[in-house]
Every structure is written in structure tokens, then in C-alpha cells.
Structure 1
Amino acid sequence: MPASSGSPMTANFMVFIGGIWLWGEPIMIESDTGEMMAVLLMDTQGTFDNTSTYQQCMTVFALSTIISSVQIYNVVDNIQEDALQHLSLFVEYGRMAMEQPHNFGKPFQKLVFCVRDFKNQEEYEFGDGSDFLNNVLQTNADQPEEIKVVRELLHEYFEDIQCYLLPHPGYKVAERQSFRGHVKDLRPLFREELKKMVPNLVGPHVLKPKLVNGKTVTCRKMIHYFKEYAASFDGETLPQPQSILNANAKLICIEAAHEAKMNYCRGMDRSTYGTRMMSEKKLLEAHIKHGITALNIYDKCPKIGSNEVRRLLLEKLQEDINAELERYKRLNEAKRVTGCASAMLACGDSVFLGIGLGSAASGAIAGAALTLQAGVVSLGIVAIPISLTTLFFIWAYVWTKPCFDRYSNKNK
């Protein structure tokens, strides 16, 4: 994903949900176009083994596939029928996504079958397993219907499907209870095959950013997307294609609402620019004008998924715009005080202003004295005469200084 608008993560490890681990720092790689890409490594250790329920496994599998630009499906020895069955969720979601009024293209990017401990070297060599995969994905009359559908439609919903055949990593690794990742412990043949596979997955010539709803995902957005998808799978039941679709719909609406609100604020900033206070009528006219523009921007966002999601976010947008209006009202009201003070200082040459200020200051001081004598002490009451007295002396200085200057020049 592009790294320009997102800050890198600095923790050593971060765990988001049971079974999903993310490496704490992105690996920065410059693509062939010169753009810096942040590659995030994610592991779903334990998926589809005996340590987790099937519901937990499918949740982790679905979440990792949705947020990854490259999903490596790690299997042992062969691609079994149950491994393909796990992909039926994505085939069903792909079907729903492609049937929506707004089509963003294929919903998933790259799927890579990584077959470890591959033993059938007589027929297929280590490395590129395209021929092996084509043979696995062939259909026949004896297969269950759901398996046939997965085989037939997998290529329609993933942009690219690849397969790599790897040897056993070495018995020194397999015998250990916890492999610590030391390259020296890997079998030399396994290391050589990894050197061929990794550049074909994340090399600068093949690296592509993660896309969600047809838009590039930045590092900053990825955290938000992760939370939305995780929330859609938070339950006791298996993930549903409709849940994924609604999560995508919510993401689209959130971005559209943010853009609409920013457009409203930019318009109101232009309308209220300046130091003079606007009339309430003109302020409301600007609010209506830019509010309608914002709602039109939101209405143009692609309509997918549940209408309920769209309606709730529209209500939230309207609340945010009304809250912004109250903020602009307060800023506009503040200009009244600032404008009065500026006008008084600008009219410093007027003797009538001096008389008015002096009277106001004297009256305020007298009022404060009476209040204090009555035993009522208030910071606000004392502050008013002090401020007016200060303004009076400023006026007196501005008005009398030219007179003293002219008198001094005559004496010289």
C-alpha cells in the first residue's frame, strides 16, 4: 500500500484478533513507478488446525483475504478438496459484489497456493506450479456442485491466481516445538526455492497497492478498514457474504461523508472569511447553499449493500453539518466584539469617542465600587471597568500626543 499518507507502525508485534499477527514495522519497497510502498507481513498461524473452531478459522481466513493484496494459502503436500471448500465464501461474495449496480472490478487481487512438503516431483518440479494448479481446478461430474462452482468461478473473482511447489523445509525445523526463524536452520533446497518465490510476490516489478472498492488503501486507512471488517465478523456465527458487502458499503459511505463534510467546511470558510460580522440571514443562506452541495456529494457515492447503512451515515452527516453550523455561529458572534473594539481604536481621533469612553469607564468604575462596598466580589465585574479604563487612556494618548508634538516643535 502507498506509504505517503500513513505513519508507519512502530511496535514490535501487534495482534488484532485471535490467530492474526502483523509484523510491527512495514517493509518499504520502491516500485517500478518510483512510488514507495509499505509492505505489511501478516500471519494467520493455526488456521484450520485443531486449536481453533471452524467459525474462528473462517473468520480469520475471511478477514485476512479481504485486507490482503496477496493472500498466500499455505497447504501441505497437496491442494485438498476442503482447502477449495474454504474458498466458497469468497466465490459467493464475489458473485454478490459483481451483481451490484456499481462494479469496482474483481473484488480480490492475488491468491497464491503455497504447497509445502510437495512430494510428486516425478510429475511436477519445485517452483512454479501453474500446471499443477490447472490440473487441480479441473471439474468433473463426480464432484459436489459447490466444489465445481468454486473451481469454475475462482478466476472470475481474483485478479491473479498462482501456485508454488516447495520442498520440505528440513527436519531440523520440523522437530522443533517452536521455530524461531533462523535461516541457517532451513534446508538449502528450501532456501533456494524461497529465493525464487519471494521476488515474484513482493518484487518491485510485481508489487501492487491494496485496493478496496476500486481505491488505493493507504497505511492510515488500513487500520480503519481493519476495524470495520473485524466488527462485521464479530459474532458467534460464520462470516456471511452479505456482512462483507455491508462492510464495504459502510466504508464507501464513510469516505463520501468525510468528503462532503470537508466540502461544506471549505465553502463556509470562504463565505465567512473576513473580520466583519455577517447577518444571521446571510449565514443561514451560506449554510443552506453549502449544505445542499455536501448532501449531493454524499448522494453520488456508489450504492451497494444495505440501504440501512447508507441511511444511518446520512443522518450522521447531517448531524455533523449542523454541529459545524453552530461553530460558525460562535465564530461569527465573536466578530461582533472584535469589530466593536477595532472601530473604537480606529476612531481614536474623535473627541466624542473620548468623551464616550470616559463616561463609560467612569460609570463602570462607580458601579464596581458600589458593588464591592456591598460585599459582592466578582472577577467579571472588576474586569469590565479595567478594560474600559485602559481603552480610555489609550484614546487619550492617541488624541493628545499630536498636540504635545506640535507644541514642542513651536518651542524649538
Structure 2
Amino acid sequence: MEMPCCGRLSIISQELELAHLQNVHKKQSQDWLGDVNQPLKGFKWRQGSRRETTGVLIWSEPFLIKRRSGEEIAVILMDTQGTFDIQSSMKDSTIVFALTTMVSSVLVYNLMNNIQEDDLMNLQLFTSYGMLAQEDCDSAHPFQRLHFLVRDWQFPYETPFGHQGGQHLLDEILQITEKQHPAHQEVRRDLRKCFRDINCYLMPHPGFKVIQKADFDGRLADIDEQFVKHLLLLVPRLLAPENLVKKEIGGQPIKSRDLLKFFTLFMEVFKDNDLPEPTTLVEFAAQASSQAALEAGKEYYAETMEALVGGDRPFLKTVQMEAEHSKAKERAIQTYLEKNKYGRKNQCVVEKYQLMLVEEVEKMFVKYSQQNEAKNVFKAARTPATLFSVLMFFYLMSGIFGLFGMYSFANMCNLGMGVFLIMLTVWAYVRYSGEYRDAGVYIDELASFLWENVIHPIYQTYMEKHLKEAAEQAAQQAITSTLANGKVKNA
């Protein structure tokens, strides 16, 4: 799952990224900027000094992008409010920043004019978390890509606009020297360790019409050409299919289905008034990783059982199915442990989710068992066979009672025969038409009760025993006859 998310990303660039994805989603149009005279649409925005975005906004649908290899990636765009502004508390900013950092495969950190030391210090809490999380993970970096986007860069004569200029500036800023304060050295060192890839892009000013025109609506005709030129370079660098980065937790790719549970777990950590310690966030990460691994284990089990008894697969013996279930369950647990590379020091979390996986697998097994049993031809024929057997019993008894002049008993048998004939007719109609399904269920339950408590015990007590004895006698006679014939031939 690919989740490039916007942390204080400029309104113009984030909206045009959305336009780019919409065109890619359709026919991968090269002219993704659209009509230069059309107002900008997408995430809600406005110009001015007051903020527009509050909290976290996620676009209402994922964009499915296909790579040349044929792999399809779901891209989810997320826009967040500016962090550490005058309208937000420390906790609000921390929650927004933590969420965007942890949930993003690409975190775009939007800054004005330059990268300042306080901008790096704002990352310190999460780099300290990342360092702790890194101890419990096989992955070399807890997070994936951090992209500094510097808006309104004012010194192009020193460092040019674009990626190369931005990378040059970033390398200088992240360089560690002896003159730096130890805390500043630590921030730079931890940033390199926490993010797999860190890069920067320097954007020019969008033009004075954008900031001075009261009715500016985002149309490209009002934006400086140099800004548009760099948008054409920046956006594909972030969102072109070959540049997409799949979201990982603990070095393992996660799927879109895990996202809701990820958010739920995250908000559980931050529901109290006090900010959580980094160790609490590490436990949260272990839970998120365990949840994703649990889903992977369930998916393996479901695929295995579907191949055995799903769809139009024929009926599988109950004993054989139970054996396959045990194998698939063990393999699902093994898959869970292999995928769950986070939280090796959080064994209690790993064991908790392993038990949850076993419970989920057992529930799935019950459903697959019912699905398999429904394909059993003999079991499917049990109801009509039972009803017909009881009907014939009443028919025979009616004839016997009538032969001896016991007409009252004969009439009762005729009544019973009529009732079971009606039930057999109703059952056949329900199966054919699909209507009155509740009546069909009641008839099936009655037939099962009669089979298990009357017909099957009688069959086991009398007929099965006699048939077995007859088969043994026939086999003994055949053996005796063969031996006798052998002696005659030898004589």
C-alpha cells in the first residue's frame, strides 16, 4: 500500500498532485496540469493568513496505479494541518505529526523559505521513538522517505531551485561538525538512522498574483511560469509509478485493509491527556505490526482452504479436511511469526495476537466446514430420504392395521403419511424456488433429528450388524471354496 502523505504541503502543489493522480488513474495523461484557466479543485483550500486544514484529511478514494511490472499499488493522499501553529496545542501538533510520520511511506515536510534548526528539532521526539523501534526490527530504518519541500526559496543565486539544489542544501544542513551542540548532532544522526531516504526540493515563489489577488482561485494562468515548471518536475518525482514507495511496518509491506486498525490503535495510545512516552509508541508499533501479520496469516489460511473446498471444489472427507486444517493453521501461525518482525522485545503483544489469529482461524474453519458439508451429496439427500422413509413406514403400517381391521390406527398412519408427504413437497419447493427458506430450515432440522435419533440407531442396531455378518460369511465361504478347489487340483 502506497501512502504519500502531506505534512504542511503547499495548497497548490497538493491540489495538483491530486489532479496528477486523477489523470494517471484514467489514462496516464502527460498533460496532467489540465486547462490553465480552470479553477483548482480537490482538497478544500483558501488563500490568506488563517489556516484552512484542521486535523487530518484523507482523499475519499484510493488511486490504483499500475507499474510496468503489472503490480498495482493503492495510493492514498493525506493532507494535514500545519504543526505547532498558534491555534494548536502541543498535544494536537504531536498527534498530527506522529500520525503522519508513522502512517506515511512518503512524508512531505512543507517548510517556508529554509530548513531551520527548530524544524529539525520538531522531529526529535519521533526520531527518539524511531531509535527505540529500530532495536525491535530487522529493518535498518523504521521509516521510509522524508521529503523536505522548501517553499518560496529566496536564494537561487546560491543554491538553484529543484532537487539537486535541495539535496545540496540538505546535505549541508545535515552535516555533523564538532562545533555543533551535542543535541543538534544527535538529531542529525538519528534522522539518518530513522529514515531510509531523505531528500529535498527547493520551490520558487508562485508569483505575486497568488498572494495579492483577493479572488485567486488556483488557476494556472495566475501562477508564475517558473513555479509551474518546477511543479512539472516535483510531482512526478513524488507520484510517478516508478517512484512510488509501498508502506511498510517493520520492513513488511502492509495492505489497505490494515489502515483502519492502524488508526484505531494509534488513537488508543493518544486518548489520554498526557503525551505517551516513546516506549508506548514502540508498543503501539508492535501492535500495528502484529495486526498486519495477523491479517497475512488469515489470508494464507483462507487461500489454502479456498483451494481445498472453496468455489466448485468437490466435497472433501471430514477427516481429511480436519488434517488439512491443522496443517494450514500451523502454516498460518508460521506466516504470522515470519511477517511480524517488529516487537521482538514485546513478546506479550506477539503472543496476544497469535492467540487472536488462532481464534480467527478456528472461526473460519467452521465456515469452511459448513461450506464443505453442503457439497456432501448424501447429506444433501438426507432430508428427502428421511422424509420418504418415514412416509413409507406410515404407508406400510396403515396397510397392516387395515388388514387386521384396526381402522383407527390405520387412519392415524394415513394422517402421518399425509403430513410427511406435504413436508416433502414443501421441502422440494423451497429447494427449487428459494422461497420460504425458514420453513426449509425447520424441515431439515426435523429430518436431522429423526435421522440421528430414530433411523440411524435402528440401522446401526439391526441392519448394519446383519449386513456386516452376511459380508463376513460370504467372504469366509469364498475363501473356503478357493482352498477346497486348490486341494482338488493338487490331488
Fold conserved (TM > 0.5)? yes
Q: How far 1:333 sits from its partner (Å)?
A: 8.3
Q: Which has the higher helix share?
A: 2
Deviation per CA, 1:250-279, whole angstroms, max 9, x where unpaired?
Answer: 233334434444565655995999769858
Tell me the secondary structure at the aligned position of residue 74 of structure 1: strand
Tell me the secondary structure at the aligned position of residue 87 of structure 2: coil
* Residue in structure 1 matched with residue 412 of structure 2 by the alignment: 366
Unaligned regions of 5+ residues in structure 1, if any? Answer: 371-380, 392-412
Query: Is residue 245–residue 304 contact of structure 1 (8 Å, CA) maintained in 2?
Result: no
| 2:183 corresponds to 1:146 | yes
Cα RMSD over matched residues?
A: 4.4
| 2:286 corresponds to 1:249 | yes
Change (3 A) 1:278 1:86: same
Deviation per CA, 1:282-319, whole angstroms, max 9, x where unpaired?
Answer: 88777666655554554555353333322332333343
Letter in 2 for 1:108: F
Moved more, 325-334 or 24-33: 325-334
Change (3 A) 1:344 1:21: closer
* Residue in structure 2 matched with residue 163 of structure 1 by the alignment: 200
Instruction: After TM superposition, list the pairs within 5 Å mapping 1:8-27 onto structure 2.
Output: 18-27=54-63
Unaligned regions of 5+ residues in structure 2, if any? Answer: 4-21, 26-41, 45-52, 400-408, 428-491
Query: In structure 2, how many angstroms separate the alpha carbons of the residues matched to 1:183 and 1:365?
Result: 93
* Residue in structure 2 matched with residue 58 of structure 1 by the alignment: 94
Letter in 2 for 1:118: W
* Residue in structure 2 matched with residue 374 of structure 1 by the alignment: none
* Residue in structure 1 matched with residue 170 of structure 2 by the alignment: 133
Instruction: After TM superposition, list the pairs within 5 Å mapping 1:206-285 onto structure 2.
Output: 206-238=243-275, 240-261=277-298, 266=304, 270=308
Selected match of 1:314 from 354, 361, 364: 354
Change (3 A) 1:111 1:296: closer
Instruction: After TM superposition, list the pairs within 5 Å mapping 1:97-112 onto structure 2.
Output: 97-100=133-136, 102-112=137-147
| 2:133 corresponds to 1:87 | no
Change (3 A) 1:353 1:119: closer
Query: Is residue 365–residue 385 contact of structure 1 (8 Å, CA) maintained in 2?
Result: no
* Residue in structure 1 matched with residue 30 of structure 2 by the alignment: none
**Aligned sequence identity (%):** 32
Q: How far 1:184 sits from its partner (Å)?
A: 2.6
Q: How far 1:142 sits from its partner (Å)?
A: 5.2
Change (3 A) 1:285 1:111: closer
TM-score, normalised by the number of residues in structure 2: 0.60
Query: In structure 1, how many angstroms separate the alpha carbons of the residues matched to 2:104 and 2:114?
Result: 23
Q: How far 1:387 sits from its partner (Å)?
A: 3.0
Query: In structure 1, how many angstroms separate the alpha carbons of the residues matched to 2:100 and 2:328?
Result: 40
Deviation per CA, 1:319-377, whole angstroms, max 9, x where unpaired?
Answer: 334445655776788868635347679xx9xxx9985362479989827969xxxxxxx
Query: Is residue 368–residue 385 contact of structure 1 (8 Å, CA) maintained in 2?
Result: no
Query: In structure 1, how many angstroms separate the alpha carbons of the residues matched to 2:95 and 2:393?
Result: 76
Change (3 A) 1:40 1:186: farther
- Figure out how many residues of one structure are paired with residues of the other and give that number: 365
Selected match of 2:224 from 175, 181, 187: 187
Q: How far 1:82 sits from its partner (Å)?
A: 1.3
Tell me the secondary structure at the aligned position of residue 129 of structure 1: helix
Deviation per CA, 1:208-241, whole angstroms, max 9, x where unpaired?
Answer: 3333333334444444434443444444333543
Query: In structure 2, how many angstroms separate the alpha carbons of the residues matched to 1:337 and 1:142?
Result: 83
Query: Is residue 166–residue 199 contact of structure 2 (8 Å, CA) maintained in 1?
Result: yes
* Residue in structure 2 matched with residue 338 of structure 1 by the alignment: 380
Letter in 2 for 1:316: M
* Residue in structure 1 matched with residue 8 of structure 2 by the alignment: none
TM-score, normalised by the number of residues in structure 1: 0.70
The structure, 1 or 2, with the larger RCO (C-alpha pairs under 8 Å, 6+ apart) is 1
Query: Is residue 88–residue 146 contact of structure 1 (8 Å, CA) maintained in 2?
Result: no
